[in-house]
Amino acid sequence: MREAAFVKQNKDKWIRFENVLTGNQIDLSPDELSALYLEVTDHLSFAKTFYPQSKTTQYLNHLASQSHQKIYKTKRESSTRFITFFTEEFPLLMFNYQRQLLISFLVFALFCIVGAYSAATDGAYVRTILGDAYVNMTLENIADNDPMRVYKEMNEVEMFMGITVNNIKVALMAFIFGILLSLGSLYIMMQNGIMLGSFQYFFYDKGLLWESMRTIWIHGTIEISVIIIAGAAGLVLGNGILFPGTYSRLESFKRGMKDGLKIVVSTIPFFIIAGFLEGFVTRHTEMPDWLAILIISISLLLILFYYVVYPRIRYKKQLHALDERTDYL
């Protein structure tokens, strides 16, 4: 058989097998995967016999080598697995869920506006949302000319640990509540959005909007962002139940649970950063405005890059690599 005909006859199987190895296609049973592997190795033997020096043989040899490691190798996970999750696996996953991220953000932003408007039109609303104890304490701090004193009262390490654990709990709640057909996650976004909107209006009403923003957004930029991202993870879970597509509802639910959990796991380092900033940095209200703005700007750019821009970069890079291989075949 001529090499060109050999390639044309089998390249669809090779591309399918490569997609399995790269994680782009995982809907094969173990028996189907093994059968496909045997076909690829048979094709490699054929190519070695009739086209020993060709690029087709090199490609199939590389494919067989990769598959051997995937299917039969039992060695422990590579020490770089943790790193590759954050640099390769997760960004590609996140690319598929930009719509859920946008919905989570829009719902949160909408109810921020609702919270601010409600606080502006109802004098008792802030106390209803934030509680009398917090409002009274803050009014005392304002009277003492130290409106952000609440961030200075606790020991740095205790505050760091407590805030980090609490934020992770909120994120898990935003994710797990997605099992209520996504409505639970949207409720958490609504709840937190209203709280933030009324909180910011409270300080605006006291003539302290800038003072509050330059302080709380030092840690809040990352903290609020990852809560919104956790809400998106909840939507992934809920949509797995609502929209199974070609999968059974149970299988779709499992996939939504797995992908949503990966999104939540990705937020943990950012919650730690936010907790560190709130525990050790936010308390320094004497810092110059330019430094506060710099920290806030870097935090925002970091979140936008990792969860919006970088997934697109990784996807385009993988798509380009697959196109090159397809063109070659």
**Could you tell me the pLDDT band of residue 75, with boundaries at 50, 70 and 90?**
very low
Q: How does residue 74 score in pLDDT terms, banded at 50, 70 and 90?
A: very low
From CA 21, how far away is CA 168, in angstroms rounded?
A: 33
The predicted-structure confidence for 176-216, as pLDDT tens digits, reads as follows: 999 999 999 999 999 999 999 999 999 999 999 999 999 99
Least confident among 55-64, 98-107, 137-146: 55-64
Phi then psi for residue 78, to 5 deg, are -65, 150
On the question of pLDDT at 79 being above 70, the answer is no
Mean pLDDT on 39-58: 84
Give the pLDDT band (50/70/90) at residue 169: very high
- Specify the higher pLDDT residue, 220 or 327: 220
Which segments of 54-182 does DSSP mark as H helices, in order?
55-71, 81-84, 90-95, 98-121, 125-130, 132-143, 156-176
The answer to whether residue 47 scores a pLDDT higher than 60 is yes
Distance, CA of 76 to CA of 92 (rounded, Å) = 24
With contact defined as beta carbons under 8 Å apart, do 328 and 56 qualify?
no
The predicted pLDDT at position 258 comes to 94
Number of Cβ atoms within 10 Å of the Cβ of 322: 15
Q: Which pLDDT value is given to residue 141?
A: 96
3-state SS assignment for residue 183? helix
User: Quick one: pLDDT at residue 223?
Assistant: 97
Report the C-alpha gap between 120 and 197 in whole angstroms: 10
State the average pLDDT for the chain: 89
Read off the pLDDT band of 325 (50, 70, 90).
low
Query: Looking at the predicted structure, is the pLDDT value of residue 326 above 70?
Result: no
What pTM value is reported for the model?
A: 0.78
